[in-house]
Amino acid sequence: MPALITTDLVALDADLGTDKGSVVRRLAELVAGAGRATDAGALQSDVLAREAQAATGLPGGIAIPHCRSEAVTEASLAFARLSPKVDFGAPDGPADLAFLIAAPAHGDADHLTLLTALARALVRPEFVASLRAASSAEEIVRLVDEVVSPAPAAAPGGATAAAPPAQASAPATPRKSLVVVSACPTGIAHTYMAAEQLEKTAKAMGHQIKVETQGAMGIENELSPADIKAADHVIFAVDIEVEQRDRFDGRKIIEVPVQEAIKNPKAVLARIGQPA
């Protein structure tokens, strides 16, 4: 499978203009110049149409403009470390890191799985810090490859290491049992970032949680009727209508925008148990 990102799709400490339209255009030109899109202008238009639905700026100086486009022939990531920073609509200011996620209109599941892995990595502070510290395009490519296609750890002698045995621990009683549905219009990035933030934060708070995503690959990790019935609370982190919503008839639902779940998952989870 061709790589999602190569060195010719990376621009470091680059002046790509002062607004998101110019940044998107320049990144789209990188994708087209690498032979991965037939028309940079068409790709730019599709990305900006997605931007019009909801801003793709994230807290911490990150932007992830993205789309599915008929102009894209090969799923691609174009990355820029911006100088100057550019406003992509994040609540805490402009972005200095921008990933253009360009997926074919009818992308295959393997590539979409890799894009999902990147989206989940972008909510991890250590990964973001490594992007800022990278000194070359080659290093950026390596960092991205490590999160989208992690290599198994090798044991002495070249064998793949077995997972270490689980450490015994005192039993803990989770405070709540939660089920979550996450979905955004494109289903490439925000869907999975919201799922990652809610899952990570809920587990840190001692809750049991199961998350269903409704993204570019359809419904993944579908919640069973038993999961839904057993849950103390149902959370929808969505910007579109939930598929098969009637599964949740009769349940009290906390519904928030996807960006809210990404930006402040603790505040979302704090709503558990509050009066409707």
Domain extent listing, the chain = 7-148, 177-270
43, 71 Cβ separation under 8 angstroms: yes
Which pLDDT belongs to residue 160? Answer: 43
Which pLDDT belongs to residue 106? Answer: 79
Mean pLDDT by 10 residues, the chain (276 residues): 90 96 98 97 95 86 92 94 95 94 79 78 92 97 88 46 42 74 84 90 93 86 95 94 94 93 92 70
Q: How far apart, in whole angstroms, are the C-alpha atoms of residue 234 and residue 254?
A: 6
CATH for 7-148?
3.40.930.10
Residue 184 catalytic?
yes
Which pLDDT belongs to residue 110? Answer: 67
Tell how strand 233-238 and strand 253-256 pair up.
parallel
27, 65 Cβ separation under 8 angstroms: yes
70, 47 Cβ separation under 8 angstroms: no
104, 68 Cβ separation under 8 angstroms: yes
Which pLDDT belongs to residue 172? Answer: 46
Burial environment of residue 59 by CB neighbours within 10 A (0 to 12, 13 to 18, 19 or more): middle
Q: CA–CA distance from 201 to each of 123, 206, 220, 263 (Å)?
A: 11, 9, 20, 12
Which pLDDT belongs to residue 111? Answer: 66
**Fold annotation for 177-270:** Rossmann fold (3.40.50)
pTM above 0.95, yes or no: no
Out of 184, 189, 193, 211, the active site residue is 184
Which pLDDT belongs to residue 228? Answer: 96
